[in-house]
Every structure is written in structure tokens, then in C-alpha cells.
Chain A
Amino acid sequence: MSEPPVLEIRDLHVTFTAHGREVPAVRGVDLTIERGQTLALLGESGSGKSVTAKAVMGLLDQPNVRVRCETARLGGRDLLTMAPDERRALRGSAMTLVFQDALSALNPVLSIGDQIGELYRVHQRLSRRQARERSIEMLNLVGIPAPAKRIDDYPHQFSGGMRQRILVAMAVALEPDLIIADEPTTALDVTVQAQILELIDRLRQELGTAVLLITHDLGVAAEVSDRVSVMYAGRIVESGQVDELYDLPAHPYTAALLAAIPDLDSPASELRAIPGAPPSPSEVPPGCSFAPRCERASEVCTTTRPPLTLLPAGTGRHTACHHSEEMLNA
């Protein structure tokens, strides 16, 4: 392959220490995203998907968190051997983060012009006037009407959808290699959600940026991603091309999720519910984490943890299940 992937993470572990106990939130996650590609990291609350995003951004530099990783490369640069200052310079320019809640991610006492302009002033040392001009261009790009007039407004003067657009503008302002979008549309209404997803997708195509989309919504992941990685209890249990993964899931968890959500077109009388609840990160069962809730679980599942292995069928499909062959032949 000629070009290195935009993001390459191997064997990421994140462990929190709380009240003297160790809580492994992420336990060996691999991520690879090519240029211009969208990878959806799909999981429920507590599955470790947001922690993974924060670890990639390097936002977990806290005394009670331990981040361990074999490889971490962003566009050929090694994030592990880099000095903290260098890494900080990459945040906001080479990799950026779009948060779920735009109101708490924006500073309420600074005008949005100041907040977008700050990126240009800090990272590119532009003058106030130049930064302002570039900020207006960015607002125009993300579809804020009359950007020159609104640039001096404060976050509370915008609607929820507009605020999310402003966050997207800040994320793409310095043309990053990678945008991490952490549940970017969860706080939004359906009609606005569609607008924001379309915006992110358009910018990805125009700028060739790679996108890591963190979501819990199977629908959202299906709409915009190229590849999907499904997380359960701190591990990736299945990953693959979006169409292959949805058409024929190789992991019982993915299959169960798809069966558990109601279908708009063909309402069934009963949903196929998954028994039980996801395990707490501090009490993950030995063997396969999904085994206690899995209808295919056998003896081996409760004792031996299945490794994430490449499947012969499909394009780069991986799954961590002892019964994946049965799943695919069913």
C-alpha cells in the first residue's frame, strides 16, 4: 500500500483506578482508518467507545488513568514517542474532536468568532483580522446563514443544530487528517440529525478527511460509515465493511442488536430482546464477555476468550467469536 493509514492504533488498553480498584475500560482495541474513510465505532454505554476516542486524542493524561498501547500512529507520525508539546500541537490541527453536547463544548462568554479564530491564531499565528476572515469562511462552509453578521454572536444565540455546525466548523478549520465525532448527533432532533450527518459526510468527501464516528445508533452508523467496529465490554467483537456486517453479522452480539431494534417497514409483533444487561466494566466475566447473554454460548465460551480473527469470507472482516462459522453459515 502506498499511503499509510491516517490512524493506526494497536492493542490499546485504558485502565481507570477508582477507590483502589482497577477498572479496565478498554482492553486491547485496534483501529485503522484510511484517508477519506469513515469508521463507526458502535457500542452501548460503558462499552468503552468514548474512552477509546479520548485516549486517541490524548485527553486521558490524568493521575488515575493508565493508557497502554503498542502502536499509535497518526498519518505516519508516531504518537507514542512524541513529546507532549508536539502532541498537543497536533490536537486541534491534525486531529480534532466533535463533542456530543455543543452547548457545553463551546465557551459561553466568548463570541463564536473568537473561538473559531483562536484556532488560527494559536496554530497558524494569523492576525486577528485574518483569523476573523477565515472564521467567516468556515461558518459559510458549514451552512450558517449570514456568517459575517453572526460571527460576533455568542453560543446561546444559536439553535442546537447551529451550535453543532459551529463545532463541526472548528473541527475542520485546520484541515485535519482525522476528525473524531463522539456521538455528534445524539442530542439533536431527527430532522436536524440528518442535516449534521450530511454535513460531516460532505466535508469528508471535499477535504478527504478520515472520520472516526462514535455512536450507539445502528441507524446512524449504517447511514454514513464505510467500516464498522462493534464494541462490547471494552473490546471490539466484530469489524468489517458496513454492508457485509449488517447483511450477515458474524458475531451473535451484532446479530442480536440488529434483531432487537424495531423495523419501520415491517413491524413484528414481538422484538427479539437480548436477555440481561451489559456487564459493568469492573466485573467482566472470564471467557467471552457476551457469553452470559448469548444464545449460542457453549462450554468453551465461558472459559476461553475468543481472539479477534480475520474471517476467510468478506473484505477484511474480523470477529471474536467461537461460533462465527455457524453464524455465517446459518
Chain B
Amino acid sequence: MPDPVLRATDLHKTYRSGLLSRGGGVRAVAGVDLELHAGETLGIVGESGCGKSTLARMLVGLERPDQGEVTFQGKPFFTRAGVPRDIRRRVQMVFQDPLTSLNPRMTVHDIVAEPLRVHRLSPDARAMRDRVGELLSLVGLSPDRMNRFPHEFSGGQRQRIGIARALATDPDVIVCDEPVSALDMSVQAQVVNLFAELQRTLGVALVFIAHDLAVVRHVSHRVAVMYLGRVAETGPAAEVYQAPAHPYTKALLSAAPVPKPALRGRSRIMLAGDPPSPVAPPPGCRFHTRCWKAAERCSQEEPVLEAVGEHFAACHFADRAAAQLPSNDR
């Protein structure tokens, strides 16, 4: 297997809150390893507070990890002088909310041209204009609207502008943090299809973060399921979705509402309570407080990712969990 384009090793990030830092701050990400290969999509799913956005910010170098390292084609991200410029150029980001991530006082041309300007990728103004026009057509927007402002566009079109900006520097990797969550359902599919098409034509690798399981399943080659700052299960998307080994993945898949009335009343795993706070994650396995398989051992020993078939799960009872369905339906 070729070397991954992006590799994260043992990432940790804790946010300390100045005055009120009782208990040592929010442990947003606590030991995450990831690999992203050229041209593939890695989906990251998890509930709010599981650290997926913090992880995304570290993967593009917007946030410095407390511990651990991110490398791009083997070169480290975080050097003493900050993230090297050529790495910044080749790893780009698309944000969740297209309205707050686009400057309302800049025209679409200026927004999309900014990375070209910062990285000195266009020799003159005309070349820059041509390139912006090209990028806009690439994401399905008409180039003659480049002198307009973001508020003149609909939600889906704004997200296209954000994608055009991310594509401007010809990146190898785009990290997308909930790129379709703010969009209306009739528009979501357009943007999801756009990502798939861009990957086919440009060969760009994507990290696709979302809480919608079906969307992640649709776009990803591999997925990682996160729970409270750690990866609970990871592997090829088809495997993880069809044969989930971690009880949390099972619960998540079973809780997702399905648009098929015929499937109502199917046996579902109902987890008790909410996810615990990342300020004080439970000891041992972080999921043991809500897990129906939890035993003594789970509250003491933290499970590590181990192979289950073709993929990996961090659960002491992963093997048995994969073999049988839980008995406490509903």
C-alpha cells in the first residue's frame, strides 16, 4: 500500500478554560490515529462533543495538538515556524456554515481569489479572473456572477463558493466539517454529488465529517466512528455499516431514523442518557456508562483498536458483539 497523504498519530487536544479550569479542561480529542490515502474519502461520524470538529481543525493545521503529530506526505505539519506554506496550500478546508465562513463584504471573486493571492498562484489580475471563473464553473456556478456578494446566493450556492475557494490552490486533501448539515434536504444531494464528482475528476482526497450516518455511508470509502474524543471503530465503510463490531456503532446505526414506515417497530437499541461530558470522560472504556455489554473490566481498562475481520474496533467484547445481536430490544 502506498504511503498515506495525510497521517495523524496519537493526537491529543485539551481546551483549558482559564479561570474556571476545574478538572483540567475539555478533553476534545484524546489519542486519535488516522490515515488518509490519495483520492479516497474518509468519513468521520460521531455525536456533538465527540471531538470531530477539533480533529478536523488539527488536520488542516488550524489547531495545534497538545501531543501527537500530523504529517502530509511524510512531512510534519507543526514545525517551530508554524505550518509550512506548501502544506497549507495543499490541505484545504470547507466549513459547515457557508454564510459565516464567507466574508459578507467581499465579492465572490475576491473570496475565491484570496487563496490564489496568498499563495501567489496567479501572475496577474487577468489570469486570476480566468482562474476564478474556471473554479466557479467547476462547482456549477456561473462565472458571470463573480462580482456579486455572498448574500445574493442561496445556501447551496454559498457552499459551492466555499468549495471553489478550497479548490483554488489545487489541494491534495480537503477536510470538510459538516459541509451539508446546514443545507436544505432538497439541496444536500446536489452538494454531495458535487463532492463525488470533484473527487472523480480531480482525484482529491476528502475527510468528510458529518453526524448524518447515511450521508457519510454514501460518500465514504472508509469511516471512523468517534465517541468522546476517541475512535471507537474504523474500517471500510461497507464493513463497518454492515457488520458493526462496537456497541456504540450498533446503537448509532439502530437509532438513526429511517424514511421507511414499513420498518417501524423494528427492534432498536435504545441507549440510556446522553453522552457524558468531555470535561470528565469516564475511566476505562468511555462508552461503558451507556453500554449494555459493559462489565467490570470496561470501567477499568481502556480498550484499544483491535482487528475485527477487515476493520478495527476498540471494545473488550467486540468479537462477541459482532457475532450476535443484542437481546435487550427497546
B and A form one assembly: yes
Evaluate whether A190 and B188 lie within 8 angstroms (CB atoms) in the complex, with A219-B258, A261-B214, A264-B256 already known.
no
A189 interface residue per 8 A CB criterion = yes
A263 interface residue per 8 A CB criterion = yes
B323 interface residue per 8 A CB criterion = no
Q: Across the two chains, which residue of chain A brings its CB closest to B255? A: A194
Q: Across the two chains, which residue of chain B brings its CB closest to A293? A: B186
Evaluate contact between B190 and A273: CB separation under 8 angstroms: yes
B267 interface residue per 8 A CB criterion = no
What is the bound-complex CA distance between A92 and B287, given in angstroms? Answer: 38
Pick from A11-19, A52-60, A157-165, A312-320 the stretch touching chain B.
A157-165
User: Which residue in B218, B241, B253, B275 is a CB contact (below 8 Å) of A271?
Assistant: B218
Which residues between 260 and 295 of chain B lie within 8 Å of chain A, taking CB atoms? 260-262, 264, 268, 270-271, 273-275, 290
* Bitwise interface map of A from 229 to 257 toward B, beta carbon under 8 Å scored 1, else 0: 00000000000001100110000000011
User: Which residue in B196, B252, B258 is a CB contact (below 8 Å) of A222?
Assistant: B258
B106 interface residue per 8 A CB criterion = no
Evaluate whether A191 and B271 lie within 8 angstroms (CB atoms) in the complex, with A223-B264, A242-B261 already known.
yes
B213 interface residue per 8 A CB criterion = yes
Nearest CB of chain A from residue B23's CB, rounded to whole Å: 16
Q: Across the two chains, which residue of chain B brings its CB closest to A197? A: B257
What is the bound-complex CA distance between A198 and B275, given in angstroms? Answer: 18
B117 interface residue per 8 A CB criterion = no
A217 interface residue per 8 A CB criterion = yes
A288 interface residue per 8 A CB criterion = no
| Chain B contact residue count (CB 8 A cutoff) | 42
* Bitwise interface map of B from 198 to 226 toward A, beta carbon under 8 Å scored 1, else 0: 00000000000001011101100000000
What is the bound-complex CA distance between A271 and B184, given in angstroms? Answer: 15
What is the bound-complex CA distance between A192 and B272, given in angstroms? Answer: 8
Grouping DSSP codes into helix (H, G, I), strand (E, B) and loop, the B interface class, with mixed when no group exceeds half, is helix
Evaluate contact between B48 and A189: CB separation under 8 angstroms: yes
What is the bound-complex CA distance between A275 and B156, given in angstroms? Answer: 11
Which residues between 192 and 219 of chain A lie within 8 Å of chain B, taking CB atoms? 192-195, 197-198, 216-219
Evaluate contact between B259 and A267: CB separation under 8 angstroms: no
B155 interface residue per 8 A CB criterion = yes
Evaluate contact between A273 and B215: CB separation under 8 angstroms: no
Evaluate contact between A218 and B274: CB separation under 8 angstroms: no
Set of chain A residues within 8 Å of B186, measured between Cβ atoms:
44, 256-257, 260, 274, 277-278, 293
What is the bound-complex CA distance between A307 and B251, given in angstroms? Answer: 44
Evaluate contact between B270 and A264: CB separation under 8 angstroms: no
Evaluate contact between A260 and B185: CB separation under 8 angstroms: yes
B325 interface residue per 8 A CB criterion = no
Nearest CB of chain B from residue A290's CB, rounded to whole Å: 10
* Bitwise interface map of B from 145 to 164 toward A, beta carbon under 8 Å scored 1, else 0: 00000000011110000000
Set of chain A residues within 8 Å of B218, measured between Cβ atoms:
262, 267-268, 271
What is the bound-complex CA distance between A198 and B329, given in angstroms? Answer: 13
Evaluate whether A262 and B261 lie within 8 angstroms (CB atoms) in the complex, with A159-B274, A189-B274 already known.
no
Q: Across the two chains, which residue of chain A brings its CB closest to B191? A: A273
Evaluate contact between A277 and B214: CB separation under 8 angstroms: no
A258 interface residue per 8 A CB criterion = yes
B99 interface residue per 8 A CB criterion = no
What is the bound-complex CA distance between A43 and B256, given in angstroms? Answer: 19
Interface centre among B189, B190, B257 (most CB of A within 10 A): B257
Set of chain A residues within 8 Å of B188, measured between Cβ atoms:
260-261
Interface centre among B185, B255, B258 (most CB of A within 10 A): B185
Evaluate whether A277 and B184 lie within 8 angstroms (CB atoms) in the complex, with A194-B270, A264-B214, A272-B189 already known.
yes
Evaluate whether A219 and B259 lie within 8 angstroms (CB atoms) in the complex, with A260-B188, A270-B193, A270-B196 already known.
yes
User: Which residue in A44, A159, A194 is a CB contact (below 8 Å) of B185?
Assistant: A44
Interface centre among B213, B241, B261, B264 (most CB of A within 10 A): B261
What is the bound-complex CA distance between A190 and B46, given in angstroms? Answer: 9
What is the bound-complex CA distance between A18 and B261, given in angstroms? Answer: 40
Evaluate contact between A222 and B270: CB separation under 8 angstroms: no
Evaluate contact between A273 and B193: CB separation under 8 angstroms: yes
Q: Across the two chains, which residue of chain A brings its CB closest to B218? A: A262
B47 interface residue per 8 A CB criterion = yes
Nearest CB of chain A from residue B68's CB, rounded to whole Å: 26
Evaluate whether A190 and B260 lie within 8 angstroms (CB atoms) in the complex, with A260-B185, A261-B189 already known.
no
Evaluate contact between A190 and B184: CB separation under 8 angstroms: no
Nearest CB of chain B from residue A279's CB, rounded to whole Å: 10
Evaluate contact between A264 and B253: CB separation under 8 angstroms: yes
Q: Across the two chains, which residue of chain A brings its CB closest to B276? A: A159
- Residues of A participating in the B interface, judged by any CB pair closer than 8 Å: 44-45, 159-162, 189-195, 197-198, 216-223, 242-243, 246-247, 256-258, 260-264, 267-275, 277-278, 293
Contacts A194-B257, A216-B185, A264-B214 known; 17 new A-B pairs at CB < 8 A: A160-B274, A189-B275, A190-B211, A190-B213, A190-B252, A190-B256, A191-B271, A192-B274, A198-B270, A218-B185, A247-B262, A260-B188, A261-B189, A267-B217, A268-B218, A271-B193, A274-B189
**Can you spell out 16 A-B residue pairs with CB atoms less than 8 angstroms apart?**
A44-B185, A44-B186, A159-B273, A189-B211, A197-B257, A218-B185, A219-B258, A220-B257, A243-B261, A246-B261, A257-B186, A258-B259, A264-B214, A271-B189, A274-B189, A277-B156
- Residues of B participating in the A interface, judged by any CB pair closer than 8 Å: 47-48, 154-157, 184-190, 192-193, 196, 211, 213-215, 217-218, 241, 251-253, 255-262, 264, 268, 270-271, 273-275, 290
> Which 10 A-B pairs rank lowest in CB-CB distance, beginning with the nearest?
A219-B257, A262-B218, A189-B47, A273-B189, A260-B189, A271-B189, A218-B259, A194-B255, A277-B154, A159-B274
